[in-house]
Amino acid sequence: MLRKILSVSGFTLLSRLSGFLRDIVLAAALGASGLMDAFSVALRLPNHFRAVFGEGAFNQAYIPAYSRIREQSGEAAAAQFSNRVFSLNLAVQIVLLGLALPFMPELVRMLAPGFAGDPVRFDLAVTLTRITFPYLLFVTLVTLLSANLNAVDRFAAAAAAPILLNVCLIAALFIAFLFPSAAHAAAWGVAVAGVLEWLLLWVAARQAGVSAALTRPRLDGEVKGFLKAFGPAVIGSAGVQIALFADTIIASLLPAGAYSALYYAERLYQLPLGVIAIGVGTVLLPTMSRAIANGNEARAEAAQNRAIALTLVAAAPFAAAFLAIPELIVAALFERGRFDDAATQAAGAVLFAYAIGLPAIVLIRAQVSSFQARGDTTTPMLVSLAAIAANVGLKLLLWRSHGAPGLAFATAVGAWINLGALYGLALKRGWTNPDRSLPLLIIIVGVAAGFAALVARLLAEPLYGLLIRFPYEPRLIALAILSLVAAGIYGAVALGGLRSAGLWRLLR
């Protein structure tokens, strides 16, 4: 399991690192300006729909069903099921695209009502979103092919596909002089990336013998079962997106630059979410689904405990760093070109607020697998909606007084509510059996991360003071040195403590 997780996480790490390079180029080209705000909306809108109808809901309903059919009825039955779902999915996406393009002003007005008072920014957001929206069609097809590959333990291509988005955006920004603005160039980069991601996954799935083909959609028993699970999963994923929609809507009412602060901070906290949580969840769900389909509950529980332990050990240093030195992290990575000190302070405050919920956010994927692997998408839906209600309510209370950091803090609170409810319900139903050593592991990891964060916090200012006259990127060098020192401290304390306590077995 660790090897599979490392395979996914390795490519995801490359994706996130290329994403940082992309964001550095974006920050230099667009800064925290109205152009960046408009592009953020253009990127968020197809991603909102993708998260509702694509990766989130689709995987929750599809992977357990596909794995079960393949295990119990064979490859031919699984291929037939995949073809029918693929054809149905394509038809829905074409209809959605046909409706969205002419009604894009209404969609943007709904998503960013604050833009209505700024006709230039509003028109630009509409234009850019029309360019980026077809990305949704291709990436939802990518999601199905990725699920097929994951079900047969082929994870590399799906994990590598997002790298193409970053490469296309960077390439587009380097030829931005050919477009009306750098924002237009970035939008076209997104559109081209969707096509390239689909081609990559189509080739990989074809080589693995799990590609999907067009066929006449039929609502047989298996497809009906998938749709029955897909409905609650859509509502559950929509609940998460409601919170993000709320962020987008409220941020449009804040002064210019709020969108940008949320965007850059979110990109940073998405690193552990993508590299760790998504990597673990991608491997854990098909692993638990196969074990439960074969009646091996003990194997499913062992896989989940291992996934939780790995997630905690890997995510703790990120949360500690984001809490200890958020402004230095933002400044080192983004403060250049049109991205100034004020933008750094704004994004750093948002990053700190997001970090409060990071442990919960990365653990949700592992905990929700208790339900998804058993075909229960309704319970996570209800839990998600309850957490989102608290999340949105808190956003409405905090946005005037605390601005963008208040929105991020509400997201963090919602994540903890979501995780706590999922764990409680799974424990009550006997669908999770936490290892007795997990509390001790949490203490050891927490102490190690806290000590490393304290050292980084104390050293950050004097170290930057020593390097400030250095002619090239003193903040980046200071961050690199602090990262190495803190990583060494965390590794020594955490791994030493886990070995002495006999907990290393949980990470194997």
Q: What is the pLDDT of residues 161-200, one digit of tens each?
A: 888 988 999 999 989 889 988 889 999 999 999 999 999 9
Q: Say yes or no: 331 and 470 in one domain.
A: no
Distance CA 265, CA 327 (A): 10
pLDDT reported for residue 356: 93
pLDDT reported for residue 476: 86
Does residue 507 contact residue 306 with C-beta atoms inside 8 Å? yes
Q: Residue 6: is its pLDDT beyond 70?
A: no
End-to-end alpha carbon distance in the chain: 8
Q: Residue 94: is its pLDDT beyond 70?
A: yes
pLDDT reported for residue 447: 94
CA distances 123 to 132, 192, 244, 395, Å, are 14, 22, 22, 27
Q: Say yes or no: 361 and 487 in one domain.
A: no
Distance CA 28, CA 34 (A): 14
CA distances 368 to 67, 240, 280, 299, 431, Å, are 17, 14, 12, 17, 10
pLDDT reported for residue 193: 92
Q: Say yes or no: 325 and 371 in one domain.
A: yes
Q: Which of 391, 418, 434 is the last residue of a domain?
A: 434
Q: What is the mean pLDDT of residues 335-346?
A: 80
Does residue 236 contact residue 380 with C-beta atoms inside 8 Å? yes
Q: Say yes or no: 13 and 39 in one domain.
A: yes
Q: Say yes or no: 381 and 475 in one domain.
A: no
Q: Say yes or no: 297 and 188 in one domain.
A: yes
Q: Say yes or no: 319 and 454 in one domain.
A: no
Q: Residue 234: is its pLDDT beyond 80?
A: no
Which residues, 6+ apart, have CB-to-CB distance to 34 below 8 Å?
Answer: 118, 120, 121, 124, 256
Q: Say yes or no: 245 and 319 in one domain.
A: yes
> Considering the entire predicted model, what is its pTM?
0.69
Number of domains in the chain: 2
Q: Say yes or no: 393 and 441 in one domain.
A: no
Q: Say yes or no: 328 and 467 in one domain.
A: no
Q: Say yes or no: 136 and 243 in one domain.
A: yes
What are the pLDDT digits (tens) for 452-491? 999 999 999 888 888 887 777 888 899 999 999 999 999 9
Q: Which residue has the higher pLDDT, 9 or 310?
A: 310
Percent with pLDDT over 70 in the chain: 89
What are the pLDDT digits (tens) for 31-60? 666 778 788 888 877 776 666 555 556 767
Q: Say yes or no: 369 and 494 in one domain.
A: no
Q: Residue 80: is its pLDDT beyond 60?
A: yes
Domain that holds residue 457: 437-508
Q: Which of 123-132, 220-229, 239-248 shows the lowest per-residue confidence on average (mean pLDDT)?
A: 239-248
In the numeric block, which tokens belong to residue 205?
A: 């799935």
Does residue 136 contact residue 46 with C-beta atoms inside 8 Å? yes
Q: Which of 434, 458, 474 is the last residue of a domain?
A: 434
Q: Which of 434, 450, 484 is the last residue of a domain?
A: 434
pLDDT reported for residue 53: 56
Distance CA 17, CA 176 (A): 22
Q: Which residue has the higher pLDDT, 430 or 246?
A: 430
Which residues, 6+ apart, have CB-to-CB distance to 479 below 8 Å?
Answer: 325, 328, 329, 332, 333
